[in-house]
């Protein structure tokens, strides 16, 4: 007996479960991606703001560009398909934020599609 065709896209409810619900929320100013073989490494973190201010002040004074300190707080290994899904979600969230002048306070756009 043949199986019914599988739809290209399936919508499912997602429930986020925090590993450590008591952990403080981390700052994240930026992320970086590196290719590691067939996979990708995603580094998430923040800039040392004092170092950033000093670098900006130095550049404004005409000095050589200073080295910025990007503090990596989390590192993830992603397959190509996982990376593509993440990139698509980031674009969708970016487009939603860009197209909405100001959403309701506290609106959760992390899992919106």
pLDDT, tens only, 84-102: 999 999 999 999 988 885 5
Q: In this structure, is residue 77 part of a structural domain?
A: yes
Phi, psi at 8, each rounded to 5° = -65, -40
pLDDT, tens only, 60-80: 999 987 888 899 999 999 999
Q: In this structure, is residue 71 part of a structural domain?
A: yes
The count of structural domains within the chain is: 1
Token code pair at residue 53? 């201010």
Q: In this structure, is residue 19 part of a structural domain?
A: no
Give the count of beta carbons closer than 10 Å to the beta carbon of residue 70: 16
CB 40 within 8 A of CB 85: no
pLDDT at 45: 94
Domain range holding 60? 30-97
Q: In this structure, is residue 109 part of a structural domain?
A: no
Who wins on pLDDT, 9 or 91? 91
Query: From its phi and psi, is residue 106 left (phi > 0), alpha (psi between -120 and 50) or beta?
Result: left
Is residue 113's pLDDT more than 50?
no
Phi, psi at 105, each rounded to 5° = -60, 135
Q: In this structure, is residue 75 part of a structural domain?
A: yes
Q: In this structure, is residue 35 part of a structural domain?
A: yes
Query: From its phi and psi, is residue 51 left (phi > 0), alpha (psi between -120 and 50) or beta?
Result: alpha
- 8-state DSSP, 101: S
Is residue 112's pLDDT more than 70?
no
Q: In this structure, is residue 15 part of a structural domain?
A: no
Average pLDDT of the chain is: 85
């Amino acid at each position: 007996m043949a199986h019914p065709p599988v739809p290209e896209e399936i919508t499912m409810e997602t429930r986020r479960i925090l590993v450590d619900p008591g952990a403080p929320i981390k700052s994240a100013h930026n992320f970086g991606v590196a290719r590691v073989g067939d996979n990708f490494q995603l580094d998430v973190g923040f800039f040392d703001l004092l170092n950033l201010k000093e670098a900006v002040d130095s550049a404004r004074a005409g000095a050589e560009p200073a080295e910025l300190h990007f503090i990596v707080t989390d590192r993830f290994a992603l397959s190509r398909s996982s990376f593509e899904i993440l990139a698509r979600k980031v674009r969708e969230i970016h487009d939603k934020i860009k197209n909405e002048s100001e959403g309701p306070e506290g609106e959760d756009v992390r899992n919106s599609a």
